[in-house]
Structure 1
Amino acid sequence: MPAEAAPASSATLPDLHLDLPDADLRHRPGSPGLRRTQLALFGAGLATFLLLYSTQALLPSLSQGLHLTPGQASWTVSAASIGLALAVIPISALSERFGRTQIMTASVFAAVVIALVLPFTDSLAVLTTLRGLQGVALAGLPATAMAFLAEEVHPSALAPAMGLYVAGNSIGGMSGRLLSGVVAGAYGWRAGLAAVAVASLLCAIAFRVLIPRARCFRPGPVNPRALWRTVTGHIRNPLLSRLFALGLLFMTVFGAVYTVLGFRLVAAPFNLPQALASSIFVVYLVGTVASALSARVGARLGRRGALYVAAGTTSVGLLLTLPDSLPLTLIGLVLITAGFFTGHCVASAAVGRTATTGRAQASALYLAAYYLGNSLGGSVGADAYHAAGWNATVMVALAAMVLALGVTAYGSVSAAHLRRAQATALG
């Protein structure tokens, strides 16, 4: 999600579009430095999302191995999301003082070290605690990586470089689920976690070897008071607060569906093997297409029109998963994924346009709400499934979409009132 430069008084988080005097030093299209930067941050994005969602696909296996309910097992996903959400603002701010590369390196290797320990845990408390710490470690990557790109890459090459980084996120999110699930189906959940840890270690090493030395970074002070003023100002902004809420609500649906779906597919009436159930995460690639099309939808229908379409598409997809039919469930999952990514892209882009100052802080607040939604959806959705089955999980997700439609409708009414007030004033 793009963000632009904050004023000097609130320069506590990395921003994405900087007016640098060193523009001639930035990597241009076709240069070796640009290729190395793109590959390095692709690896970093891949490692981040390999690790963040490493336990999601193997939750049924994990539940069986540690004798957990779906709700208890879901905390291994939720804890990482909570850790990232709580730490993304303060840890990203540290990159202003200590440097982008240093923070990214420390983050990815700390997360990998924790990943290498996870297969040896034997209790939910230890596993959940380590996953929470892993989320905190990973918080140093998302905003910092985008800031590094903006500082070190020439504007003419920034869009494709950012696109490749986001592609690494998307592919990592999918492949982490696939890798852990398939390996767990054959060798157990510990082997699944070990496979993800090794893959992430290789990605982290590739990142560190490839990342070029920063040439445009200038360290600055971290000002907690300025950060607090900027953050609270964004929270008090009605439009921004609605956008944060929409990010949370859309991610609540995504977290609930993708956390619980594995339990449903390995149980009756589907009774799919663990490895085959994990392959369902290939549908995640639908998000790549939906993300690319979201700008067109927004241009044609407007922001609120696109959000209505996104929430409606997601809701229809949820309803299609209610019957015990694998083809309908797959179609429903495609619609849920497309609707989620459309809503997420539209809302996140609107945050960058709405925040006239402190855009990096606004982006970080959106990410915090987004990952809290993932934690909320995964935990509540799994508890609902344990209590009353898949239909209860769908009801939780539909409730989130009803709230999202309500937030969007409130925005439509507020905009209409504002237009009438402006017309009256001009008349």
Structure 2
Amino acid sequence: MSRKLKLKLGLFIQGAGHHAVGWRHPQAQSGSENFELIKQLAQTAERAKLDMIFLADGLTTSADSSPSVVARFEPITLLAALSTVTRRIGLAVTASTTYYDPFNLARLLASVDQLSQGRAAWNVVTTSTREAALNFSQTDHLEHSVRYERAAEFVEVVKGLWDSWEPDPYIVNKQTGEYIDKRKVHELNHKGKYFAVKGPLNVSQSPQGQPVIIQAGSSGPGQELAARIGEVVFTAQQTFEDAQAFYNGLKGLLPKYGRRPEHLHILPGLFPVIGATEKEARDKYEELQSFIDDTKAYATLQERFDYDLHGYSLDSLVPDIPESSGRKSRPQLLMKLARDKGLTLRQLYREVAGARGHRIVVGTPIQLADHIQKWFEGFAADGFNIMPPYVPGGFEDFVDGVIPELQNRGLFRTEYEGGTLRENLGLPVPANRHSTVSTLSNT
């Protein structure tokens, strides 16, 4: 079955790769603070014509944290640097609505959007880690429902600030002394339940109008927020059937908010392990799994579930684990995975260490392309967020093997459609709320 829009692909950059111990692979390069490696990955992704690179973030760490995330650059600063060494690929970043201020974040993201000439995207998160509160002069972490309510208002404030400037506000007339058209600069004057912000923002709009909004929550409140404001959704499903159900359910919410299905792209995470033969790929995966240290199992599972499992043997079946006020959708996904496969705690930990609950596909480039095509043409995904197990080799295997196969099948672009992220994603340029004329791109 053909689809009007091409497949959308992003590269999720994290440390030395997404396998928890992928850094131990003989060909892996290490370091979340290794700019030359990150630059190389971004430029390789751009050469492959991927839609975007994506940087996650965390607001806590310890010496016991995974080597991939124990230390890392502040991601908005890193995107600004990457904007100078790339030209066409989108630049997506995570930033928390729980611990940022709307004006400050709106300014930072608008700056990156200007510096990159319209290639920025914001992954809206609410921060699930309780310990983050202690790094922001707070003792209590907001409850799940409050975080999402606050996030909805936060995003509206940010988007309102991004509309402070209408397009083409500069006059710069040396004879008359007029520098800007004052009619095109607007105060926000927002007063809500959580925020009071006057405005205007002191950064004007980029060629794409506003950064693309990404949302990654799959809980009930998360899906409602995604349907309301999301333009790209990152998610994680293990089976084709579950992915189809999520896809249809989320797209079905869009008319409630006056939105069209093609203006929200759903990109599950995909953890590819690729070999010239299926056996070579399987051997490569088993080698990665052999590096896992089972002594870290309890700490890793406690971080994922916010629950102490020391009272259970690692070789016992995964018990019923009570829901916390932190993460919602990912623990539910992991519990379903454990029940569907009859996993022990040790086996579940090894799944988490591999891909944190995302879909693992082990095989040849043709088998990877078959999987992607099935999910794309079966309306289980609009594309994928690629999570290489180690870098750069694990990603280069995908670029050199899978991308040409997808292009040969007519599923993926051979050239970028435009200069902004919105143009390449086929998303509309949001109409400035103060303008009288709406501007759309690829509608």
TM-score bracket relative to the smaller structure: under 0.3
Q: Which has the higher helix share?
A: 1
Q: Given the two structures, how large is their TM-score scaled by the length of structure 1? A: 0.26
> Which of the pair has the greater relative contact order for Cα pairs under 8 Å at 6+ separation?
1
Q: Given the two structures, how large is their TM-score scaled by the length of structure 2? A: 0.25
